[in-house]
Structure 1
Amino acid sequence: MLAGPVMAQSAADEDETIVVTGTRMTRGQAFEMARRYTRAVLAVPQADQNARWADPLCIGAIGLRPEVAVPLIDRIEATARDIGARVASGDCAPNVLMMFVQDSDAAFAMFEQKRPDLLQTSTKDQRRTLSQPGWPVRWFYGQVIEGLGGRGASPNASGLAQAPGALMDLPVLNEGALSRINSPAQLSIKGVTILVDVPRVANVSFDALSDYLAFGILSRTRLDAAPDASSIVSLFQVEAQDRPAGMTDLDRAMLKALYNIPVNRSAAVHRNQMASEMVKVIAAVQ
């Protein structure tokens, strides 16, 4: 008896219009856009999971004057708090290091030679992309498989960290009423190294660059991401007059969804849930 009204309500919700990145569309269209966006922006899942931070962020910067570094870090930290990530207070050991250099191509070659450990969780394709010359910004991540919410990893955590695919050998838990199969562990970002090529970002606004860096810090983002919607991720791929001034509503909604929805489920299921959450977040502020 309830099927008819429920289905009718669902259809009505699908037809309701909202504005996404300046374009009016139905919720159904917005959901499909959000799904395409997450697939285009998030790095290829490892261990069939998307990754996020469980630990508090501690951000450091090298190569900037204090009067530039402090507001840059402040803006990134404010974004992190707004989307639901944690930020360390007081003195802390940086787990995010932004390095502003004059020749990032040479700097990355040095990292490959002298600090290959920082690239051990990057795939061959990701390393190949990183080694291509000309990037204004490069980022690469350290990650580990650990207990939910960042709680202690299993006894074989070190082995899992070096071989993320091993997560698929872990037992799974059933969430009961939701009937979803979830893992008892999650893939967490543990560190980010960012190389910023100062000459190549010289013509980008402070706010736009800050938000671009924040997005790359808070999610495992494809360096060559090319979403078909207005996004801060496209900052260096569009003409100067088309560059976003900062994060778009779609960008911020994705980060909020990433930190609001449990990540201990398959990447495909997680992206679909994120897309639904993104539509809710965008609609809520209209």
Structure 2
Amino acid sequence: MTPALIAALMIAAAPQEPPAPEVDPTELQDVVIDARRIEQLARQFIDDVAAPTRTRGLARWNSRLCVGVLNLRPDIGQAIVDRISDVARSLGVEAGEPGCRANALIVAADDGPAMAAAMVESRRRGFDIGSLKITQNDEALEAFMAEDRPVRWWQISIPVDSQTGGRAIRLAGDLHPGTNEPTAPRIAVFAASRIQSQIRDDLRKVFIIVDIDDVEGLTTTQLSDYLAMVTLAQIDARGDASGYDTVLNLFSDREGVSGLTRWDMAYLTGLYEAEQNRINPNAQARGVADAAVRAHRADPADPSPEE
């Protein structure tokens, strides 16, 4: 018997594996994937955390920003001023030189609510301008004074003529110098449009109170970046930022939040790059969201806004 024939017989005699039993197909449950587009996230972020005044668009600093810090060690206070000013400059905002008159005042206190109440009582007119187009309502002012918050802030924004920078809203006490009758600023309209407006909203003053006991353990960078966010943008103190990768979650996740995130910087960039002169505040908010998305995509870093 030849070797080839022996090999053939061995192969033929080798045991064959039994065929696999047939298995009935199993119906799988539907798989739901949360794939919200970044555009939707950006718009939702504005809805959740931004706090423009009633009927107005999102305000930003269009004039020089001068940050002042009280009741902190000089080295810590200077570090906070420098960090906020650096972030402002990166957004195209002019930052004041040392000795400038502060329009963003940060005060450290042992008792935040007591300090807030004292500031409002001593300068009520400085907090309650008498127009909901400039500040939040009385309920928000009471919350600023009474609620237990590590950091509390009160912002003043003013509708201005984008051509001249002059105030574009009448306030109580505006009287004609000749007749002593109530008067209002006059706006010379350069071009009428149903989409564009000659009026924009400028941040003019920000008061921030930091409760020392509640920020104990934070690094200067963490605190400075949080303060930068609430100085440079109108942020809702009661807003829910839990679904976003943002410094606004600092006090609920001290270990996980190190400072301004990629998403925060994209939002701030969008706020300061978007066209402000829109008649419809919703259209302006969409423009900010679109600009934030472009800034986020232009950043070479990899993380998404919701991680």
Fold conserved between structures, TM > 0.5: yes
Give the 3 Å change call, closer, same or farther, for CA 84–203 of structure 1 in structure 2: same
Aligned to 2:110: 102
Aligned to 1:123: 137
Deviation at 1:157, TM superposition (A): 4.8
Give the 3 Å change call, closer, same or farther, for CA 226–170 of structure 1 in structure 2: farther
Q: Given residue 195 of structure 1, which amino acid in structure 2 is its aligned partner?
A: I
Matches within 5 A, 1:272-283: 272-283=286-297
Give the 3 Å change call, closer, same or farther, for CA 60–142 of structure 1 in structure 2: same
1:246 is the counterpart of 2:254:
no
In the alignment of these two chains, the number of paired residues is: 249
Give the 3 Å change call, closer, same or farther, for CA 136–90 of structure 1 in structure 2: closer
C-alpha separation in 2, matches of 1:226 and 1:210:
21
Q: Deviations over 1:235-260 (max 9, x none)?
A: 12x24333x10111111111111111
Greater percentage in helix = 1
C-alpha separation in 2, matches of 1:171 and 1:220:
28
Structure of larger gyration radius: 2
Aligned to 2:199: 185
Aligned to 2:277: 264
Fraction of identical pairs, as percent? 25
Give the 3 Å change call, closer, same or farther, for CA 135–90 of structure 1 in structure 2: closer
2:244 is aligned, of 220, 226, 229, to: 229
C-alpha separation in 2, matches of 1:110 and 1:39:
32
Deviation at 1:151, TM superposition (A): 1.7
Aligned to 1:202: 216
Greater percentage in strand = 1
Aligned to 1:4: none
Q: Deviations over 1:10-61 (max 9, x none)?
A: xxxxxxxxxxxxxxx97x7111011111111210443421111111011111
3-state secondary structure, aligned to 1:108: helix
Contact 1:146–1:157 (8 Å) recurs in 2: no
Q: Given residue 277 of structure 2, which amino acid in structure 1 is its aligned partner?
A: N
Q: Given residue 115 of structure 2, which amino acid in structure 1 is its aligned partner?
A: A
Q: Given residue 235 of structure 1, which amino acid in structure 2 is its aligned partner?
A: L
TM-score, normalised relative to structure 2:
0.74
Aligned to 2:68: 60
Give the 3 Å change call, closer, same or farther, for CA 246–160 of structure 1 in structure 2: farther
Q: Given residue 147 of structure 2, which amino acid in structure 1 is its aligned partner?
A: P
Q: Deviations over 1:172-193 (max 9, x none)?
A: 9555xxxx61221112111111
2:54 is aligned, of 46, 53, 59, to: 46
Deviation at 1:137, TM superposition (A): 0.6
3-state secondary structure, aligned to 2:37: helix
Q: Given residue 232 of structure 1, which amino acid in structure 2 is its aligned partner?
A: V
Q: Given residue 248 of structure 1, which amino acid in structure 2 is its aligned partner?
A: T
C-alpha separation in 2, matches of 1:159 and 1:181:
29
Deviation at 1:212, TM superposition (A): 0.7
3-state secondary structure, aligned to 2:89: helix
3-state secondary structure, aligned to 2:288: helix
Contact 1:212–1:246 (8 Å) recurs in 2: yes
TM-score, normalised relative to structure 1:
0.79
Give the 3 Å change call, closer, same or farther, for CA 150–50 of structure 1 in structure 2: farther
Q: Given residue 253 of structure 1, which amino acid in structure 2 is its aligned partner?
A: A
3-state secondary structure, aligned to 1:182: coil
Give the 3 Å change call, closer, same or farther, for CA 264–45 of structure 1 in structure 2: farther
C-alpha separation in 1, matches of 2:188 and 2:267:
28
C-alpha separation in 2, matches of 1:249 and 1:40:
18
C-alpha separation in 2, matches of 1:188 and 1:67:
30
Aligned to 1:139: 153
Q: Given residue 196 of structure 1, which amino acid in structure 2 is its aligned partner?
A: V
RMSD of aligned C-alpha atoms?
A: 2.7
Give the 3 Å change call, closer, same or farther, for CA 79–129 of structure 1 in structure 2: same
Which is worse superposed, 252-261 or 263-272?
263-272
C-alpha separation in 1, matches of 2:170 and 2:293:
36
Contact 2:162–2:199 (8 Å) recurs in 1: yes
Q: Given residue 259 of structure 1, which amino acid in structure 2 is its aligned partner?
A: Y
**Gap regions ≥5 residues in structure 2:** 1-33, 129-134, 175-183, 301-307
**Gap regions ≥5 residues in structure 1:** 1-24
1:70 is the counterpart of 2:78:
yes
C-alpha separation in 2, matches of 1:213 and 1:150:
30
3-state secondary structure, aligned to 2:94: coil
1:284 is the counterpart of 2:292:
no
Aligned to 1:83: 91
Q: Given residue 104 of structure 2, which amino acid in structure 1 is its aligned partner?
A: V
Aligned to 2:233: 219
C-alpha separation in 1, matches of 2:195 and 2:190:
6
